[in-house]
Structure 1
Amino acid sequence: MVRRGQADGEGPPPPRPRGRRAAGADTRGELLAAASAEFAEHGLDGTSMRGVARRAGVDPALVHHYFSSKEELFTESVVTAQYLPLAARSLSGVTREDAAETLVRTVLLVWGRLDGRGALRAVVASVARSEVARDLLRELVLRRLLLPLVRRLEVDEPERRAALVASQVVGLGMVRYVVRVEPLASADDETVVAEVAPTVARYLFGPLPPLPGTPPS
């Protein structure tokens, strides 16, 4: 018996795909694209893992399979995909003379934009409780941003110098935007650059004390 409004030989419409995608599908990439669109429309607070799943056309369990939290999803879909290229472009042409000041200005730009979206505190909270989020932030700040910059400057001990610079710029973001310690929190960017860049320059180019167990150079 043919139902009213249904032509002969036609079955009901196929169900919407749920769960895992077919082999070869870029499921993770599709989830990141859906998340980026959700965050752009609704912000961090207004976005849910269920909303990302709905936009991607998958079961919410699949989103949780790839990402342990909304903050981790935000870090990868927005911070890594959007802010890392912005920072990389800003630092692409630096020289030894302007590296420290340009780096501090770039960090202030990125931290400030994240803070303006109400996202920096969520990212920090995610890093505090998630090893995956810590790995993401380490990859973002150290491996994909600072270490390539330090290596381009052709200095000795690039890994050590990059780690020292990371301690300064990540700490700057925490103190200025998360903990909001005054007068640093309300200082204008150029004042912060003038105050912080000399320390970054010392980490980049100054002599480093020998590590324990190694002879001085």
Structure 2
Amino acid sequence: MSERQRVNREDLSTTAPRRGRRPGSPNTRAAILAVARQRFAQQGYAATSVRGIAAAAGVDSALVHHYFGTKEDLFVASLELRVDPRVIAPTITAEGPDRAGESLVRLLLSVWDDEESRLPLMALVRSIFEPEGKALVPEAFGRLILGPVSEALGLDEPERRMALVGSQLVGIVVLRYVARIEPLASAPAETLVATYAPVVQGYLAGPLP
């Protein structure tokens, strides 16, 4: 190859304009995830589209599906949790409706007491107090956990009951893990299960005022 041919080939490889959207790469995957997290947090699940995420990330929507699968898969990935929240509902309801309250509290504590699981969850909870992230936790908690639990248990007044359950569980998280209020912060998990499981079970299956 002559020197002139070599130079011309290098010129084409470095200066020729790229057409279309950006091809896939590890950086592209990270960019998609960052955009998805922002959109889901600001707009909520229903108002966020894969097409809109792809456009904002500068890729084709097919590439989003290639990396993440469905819109729900992308939403779960954007939460950046060690535990897929979609597996929680079957775990909670596996022992039947009479044990669901205990299962919920016990699972909550087991996940949050694990330091590696707690770190990303802390970031997620703190987003509640940020205007740009206010939709993320309600969507994650309600859509992926409480909604499926309610459906599996066949609850009457499901929205009311699960709102009460959610208020109790979020209260435990904020006081025990975020604010570190004693004696809640250092109480043994079994003590908290014995304390809160009957309350949560009452919200799930007991009479409501």
The interval holding the TM-score normalised by the smaller chain is 0.5 to 0.7
Provide the rounded CA distance (Å) in 2 between the counterparts of 1:74 and 1:149: 17
8 Å Cα contact 2:105-2:193 kept in structure 1: yes
CA distance in structure 2 between the aligned counterparts of 1:177 and 1:90, rounded to whole angstroms: 23
Percent same amino acid among aligned pairs? 39
Asked if 2 retains the 8 angstrom alpha-carbon contact of 1:155 and 1:205, the reply is yes
Q: Which runs of 5+ in 1 are unaligned?
A: 36-60, 64-72, 210-217
Taking structure 1 as the reference length, the TM-score comes to: 0.62
Look up the SS of the partner of 1:10 in the other structure.
Answer: helix
Structure 1 187/83 Cα, relative in aligned 2: closer, same or farther at 3 Å?
A: farther
Map 1:71-86 onto structure 2 (within 5 A).
Answer: 76-79=78-81, 82-86=83-87
2:9 is the alignment partner of 1:10 = yes
- Output one character per residue of 1:48-82: Cα deviation in whole Å (capped at 9) or x when no partner: xxxxxxxxxxxxx959xxxxxxxxx9982413x74
Deviation of 1:111 (Å): 2.4
Matched ranges for 1:199-214 at <5 A: 199-209=199-209
What residue number does 2:171 align with?
171
Q: How far did 1:127 drift?
A: 1.8
1:193-204 to structure 2, matched below 5 A, reads: 193-204=193-204
Instruction: Give, in whole Å, the separation in 1 of the partners of 2:87 and 2:115.
Output: 12
Q: 1:120 to 1:155 in 2, by over 3 A?
A: closer
Aligned in 2, Cα 1:110/1:87: closer, same or farther, shift over 3 Å?
farther
CA contact (8 A) 2:105 2:169 kept: yes
How far the C-alpha of 1:107 sits from its partner, in A, is: 1.1
Quote the residue 1:128 is aligned against: 129
Q: 1:183 is paired with a residue of what secondary structure?
A: coil
What residue in structure 1 maps to residue 92 of structure 2?
A: 91
The 8 Å contact of residues 111 and 118 in structure 2, kept in 1 or not, is answered as no
1:90 partner amino acid: T
Q: Give 1:197 deviation, angstroms.
A: 0.4
Match of 2:29 in 1: 30
Give SS of 1:145's match: helix
1:83–1:110 contact (8 Å) kept in structure 2: no
1-side partners of 2:116 and 2:180: how far apart?
11
**Which is bigger in relative contact order (C-alpha 8 A, separation at least 6)?**
2
CA distance in 2, matches of 1:141, 1:10: 55
Secondary structure at 1:169's aligned position in 2? helix
State how far apart, in whole Å, the 2-side matches of 1:104 and 1:192 are.
Answer: 8
Q: For this pair of structures, how many residues does the alignment match?
A: 168
Residue identity in the other structure for 2:123: A
Q: Does the C-alpha gap of structure 1 residues 11 and 97 become closer, same or farther in structure 2, counting only changes over 3 Å?
A: same
CA distance in 2 between partners of 1:151 and 1:74 (Å): 20
**Counterpart position of 1:138:** 138
Deviations 1:168-195 (A, max 9, x none): 1111111110011111111121111111
Q: Which structure dedicates a bigger proportion of its chain to helix?
A: 2
Q: Secondary structure at the match of 1:180?
A: coil
